[in-house]
């Protein structure tokens, strides 16, 4: 699974983890992954981040920066992220947090 490869790569490379954490878009996260030889779609990133955040404790979630929930419209996973840097920040933060706790 390419999303898991991304999380694993973040565990091994703190520079990549920080870059993903501060990415301004989901497409930016996918581009960073591709630069590291990992092909992941925006849909995989959203679904993977949703799975991660459903598994994080309240303390882990407190360390995830940015983001907002805007409802269910238009996203297969039933989640929607705020436009701009906030939504990507939530996803990047979730990936970053997962890379720290594994």
End-to-end alpha-carbon separation of the chain, Å? 16
Query: 69 forms bridges with which residues in the sheet?
Result: 81
Q: Which domain range does residue 18 map to?
A: 2-101
pTM score, two decimals?
0.59
What b/e sequence results for 22-61 when a residue is b if at least 16 CB atoms lie within 10 Å of its CB, and e otherwise?
bbebbebbbebbeeeebebeeebbbbbbbebbeebeeebe
Q: How many domains does one find in the chain?
A: 1
pLDDT tens track for 1-55: 588 999 899 889 989 988 988 888 889 999 999 999 999 999 998 888 888 767 6
């Amino acid at each position: 699974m390419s999303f898991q490869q991304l999380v694993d790569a973040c565990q091994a490379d703190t520079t990549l983890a920080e870059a993903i954490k501060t990415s301004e878009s989901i497409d930016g996260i996918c581009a960073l992954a591709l630069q590291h030889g990992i092909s992941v779609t925006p849909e995989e990133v959203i679904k993977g981040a949703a799975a991660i955040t459903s598994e994080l404790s309240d303390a882990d979630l407190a360390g995830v920066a940015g983001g907002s929930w805007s409802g269910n419209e238009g996203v297969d996973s039933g989640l929607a992220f705020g436009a701009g840097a906030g939504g990507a920040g939530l996803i990047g933060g979730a990936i970053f947090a997962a890379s720290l706790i594994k």
